[in-house]
Amino acid sequence: MEVVALVSGGKDSCFAMMRCMDYGHKVVALANLIPLDDSVDELDSYMYQTVGHQIVVSYAKCMGLPLFRRRIRGSTRDQGLKYSVTAGDEVEDMFALLSEVKRQIPSISAVSSGAIASDYQRLRVESVCSRLGLVSLAYLWRQDQTLLLEEMIRRGIVAIIVKVAALGLKPSSHLGKELAELKCHLLQMNESYGINVCGEGGEYETLTLDCPLFRNARIILDDSEVILHSADSIASVGILHPRAFHLEHKLDSYDRIEDGPVTQESSSCLYEVDEVITHTDVEEKQSPSPAVDACANIDLCISKTGKNLRSIGCWIQDPSRASEGLKADLVAVLSRIENQLKEEGLGWVNVLYVHLYISSMKEFGLANEVYVSFITEKKCYLGVPSRSTIELPLVQAGLGKAYVEVLVSNEVVKRVLHVQSISCWAPSCIGPYSQATLYEEILYMAGQLGLDPPTMKLCPGGPRAELELALQNTEAVANAFSCSIYSSAIHFLVYCSAQLTSSEKEEVEQTLKSSYIARLDCLKAVSSPTVLYVFAPDLPKGARVEIKPILYVPSNDDGVVTIEMETGVPLPAVSKAWTDCSALYSELRDSCCQVHTIGGRICSAVVSITDDIASKICSTAGQLYHRENLKTMARFCAFQIAKILEDNKFSWDSITMLRFYYSVDLSMAADALRGAFSEAFAELAEDNSSMRTDKIPFYNIVPVAGSGRSACTNDIMTCELLASNISSA
């Protein structure tokens, strides 16, 4: 991509440009924001470094690139973490600057910035990039600062300290010193006082005088003045004001200039951007959600359990209906969900997670276009929901071409991580979804592929390599919430390509087991997280494996999150009609169930019906999918779910997610299976007068290419359960 680099003069923005070039991008222009008054060294800005701005004008000649500059007219008006377009804010100066760069150089498609740890700055750069249709590149984001500092010095960045404001840094001793000279001191101050060695906490600022990108000349500072802003005895604040400097041409630069590819006269132009900001072109352009006149043929399932959380699943019900295509089906499904949310006084901002199932991954781009017409940043002002998208055999199951399940909260209280910048940290979410959403101590993570974060390309090496990298990516996301997949995992849902060979399936399963079992042994964990493998015809980007973890992230505020032990809704009692089979069902429990609980707060379970179990519980030999046998298998699953809840002191109201996966190869009709489960849960409640029929749990019936607790088995059907006793006080 052709890139415009935001430069402040500091080491980070220069090294970010070097990283861009490492990954094959071409920096074609520089952009810099400076104070209105040239005599002012530093502004009270949350966004911009301006100390040393007098020298940044020389970067154009040093690099042989055009430099676009704008004077900062705005101030910090929107101080929230997530930025909203605000007239008079300093962020709008960046928007005006980059707008002009894009106008003059239309080929530019990305913006480089040196953000390392500041969400405040990253989100504002991403906001501007989103409005301009540009990609944010932040290759230093969340990198280890000690390693960054060492690499910057090793790779030839010559930068001096131009501001100090931290314990252990003195204006008289450290201003004007080179970064390499102070490296050991900075590391010592980090160990002694916890300062950020790259200055990310505002401890110090730098000015780059030379680096490998300065191919024409280096900057020589001839004269400077130390200005003391604060004479605090503990942590004095001072800056270095440059008085005079000159450029020292590099020996090989003359040859390049004479040969013609780069000339300072033609390439290192300076453009002053002084246009007045107009807000008619910065408003978020949202197309209205497509309207659907009739949804009579849409089957909408709504959870009747759960106080704060519930699921809404929607798909095309009529198998005889001729599909009008993915777009029409997805518009119909999302419209019906949106209408249901409105009826309950809610909106897309209440949605925590979206499972998007489509009939063909070849139409992924089209599905996204429809998706963003409903679910937008503007509607989801706390952050767009996390999401996973896979291809399912929906048409074979008679469910249309689109199937959507959303997890909805009554309360608009959640923490969302949505990093849109391409970085070395984890795969970006340039699309309309977030990496993870935290709600009531449960972290719902988007499906992660084995993508190389800086290139966003699928790693080579097959499914095992993809899973290993996907686990690294999930761990990076988990770390952003101060947790780990190895100590906090409740459940792993592993989507696999149906094209995996038997040996590849074994590799995937062994890779996942080896990645966390050893760590669980070290942590002396009582039980392992539950694992479910689901096989799909296709995954995004043609991946072979995608992993979707659910994590437990305990709250530090006991006044906000509590354990809510349900007493008002009795646990299901086994009816008399089930007495004869309950002994057999109980006997089979260990062979069909995997359960993981966390202190009465969370319960995750996977229940499998294999051929072996089906042969033991079904009486109609040779007719496994006879109506009576479907009822028997549904009854078996309902029994196991009821016992899991009862044994672990959870109720129907605790259920936040309940899915039944079945293989379309087994010729079971979705509506017949759904009817069997409805009947089974109704029977379970029949003899318990205190259990009302509206307490029958919500569940989704999901057609797949295969599923199981092991990657090497293919269950007739598999149940996935998540229950929580945690509620907001």
pTM of the model: 0.89
The per-residue pLDDT for 566 is: 43
The per-residue pLDDT for 411 is: 87
For residue 557, the tally of other CB atoms under 10 A from its CB is 7
The per-residue pLDDT for 565 is: 43
Q: What is the mean pLDDT of residues 580-609?
A: 88
The per-residue pLDDT for 527 is: 67
The per-residue pLDDT for 257 is: 36
The per-residue pLDDT for 31 is: 97
The per-residue pLDDT for 579 is: 58
- At CA 574, angle to CA 570 and CA 578, rounded to 5? 160
Q: What is the mean pLDDT of residues 429-453?
A: 93
Cα–Cα distance measured from residue 99 to residue 576, given in angstroms and rounded to the nearest whole number: 73
The answer, yes or no, to whether residue 475 has pLDDT greater than 50, is yes
- Indicate the Cα dihedral angle 196, 201, 206, 211, nearest 10°: 60
The per-residue pLDDT for 717 is: 92
The answer, yes or no, to whether residue 6 has pLDDT greater than 90, is yes
Residue 467 is which amino acid?
A: L
Cα–Cα distance measured from residue 151 to residue 157, given in angstroms and rounded to the nearest whole number: 9
Q: Do the bridges between strand 351-358 and strand 386-391 make them parallel or antiparallel, or are there none, so unpaired?
A: parallel
Instruction: Give the residue from 583, 715, 726, 602 showing the smallest Cα distance to 661.
Output: 715
The answer to whether residues 311 and 350 touch, using CB atoms and an 8 Å cutoff, is: no
Helix (H, G, I), strand (E, B) or coil at 724: strand
Question: Which stretch of 30-39, 153-162, 472-481 has the lowest confidence by average pLDDT?
Answer: 30-39
Q: Does residue 624 come out as left (phi exceeding 0), alpha (psi in the -120 to 50 range) or beta?
A: alpha
Q: What is the mean pLDDT of residues 132-139?
A: 96
Question: Which stretch of 209-213, 423-427, 574-578 has the lowest confidence by average pLDDT?
Answer: 574-578
In the numeric block, which tokens belong to residue 482?
Answer: 């101060």
Fold of 297-411: 60s Ribosomal Protein L30; Chain: A; (3.30.1330)
The answer, yes or no, to whether residue 84 has pLDDT greater than 90, is no
Higher pLDDT, 378 or 286: 378
What are the CB-based long-range contacts (under 8 Å, 24+) for 573-576? 573/687, 573/688, 573/691, 574/639, 574/642, 574/684, 575/683, 575/684, 575/685, 575/686, 575/687, 575/688, 576/687
Each domain of the chain, given as residue ranges in start order, spans 2-252+267-272, 297-411, 446-550, 574-728
The answer, yes or no, to whether residue 196 has pLDDT greater than 70, is yes
Burial environment of residue 280 by CB neighbours within 10 A (0 to 12, 13 to 18, 19 or more)? exposed
Cα–Cα distance measured from residue 84 to residue 127, given in angstroms and rounded to the nearest whole number: 8
Higher pLDDT, 81 or 24: 24
- The band of 80, judged by pLDDT with boundaries at 50, 70 and 90, is confident
Domains 2-252+267-272 and 297-411 share a fold: no
Considering the domain 446-550, what is its CATH architecture? 2-Layer Sandwich (3.30)
Fold of 2-252+267-272: Rossmann fold (3.40.50)
> What percentage of the chain reaches a pLDDT higher than 70?
84
Higher pLDDT, 79 or 28: 28
Cα–Cα distance measured from residue 70 to residue 425, given in angstroms and rounded to the nearest whole number: 31
Specify the CATH superfamily of domain 574-728.
Answer: RutC-like (3.30.1330.40)
Which residues have a Cβ under 8 Å from the Cβ of 34 and sit 6 or more positions away?
50, 53, 56, 69, 70, 71, 72
The per-residue pLDDT for 626 is: 66
Phi, psi of 34 (to 5 degrees): -130, 160
Instruction: Please provide the average confidence, as pLDDT, over all residues in the chain.
Output: 85
Which residues have a Cβ under 8 Å from the Cβ of 615 and sit 6 or more positions away?
none
The per-residue pLDDT for 678 is: 85
In the numeric block, which tokens belong to residue 102?
Answer: 């894009």
The per-residue pLDDT for 578 is: 55
Higher pLDDT, 293 or 675: 675
- The band of 686, judged by pLDDT with boundaries at 50, 70 and 90, is low
The per-residue pLDDT for 281 is: 42
The answer, yes or no, to whether residue 691 has pLDDT greater than 50, is no
Instruction: Check the CA dihedral 369-370-372-378 and report its sign.
Output: positive
Q: What is the mean pLDDT of residues 700-720?
A: 93
Q: What is the mean pLDDT of residues 629-654?
A: 88
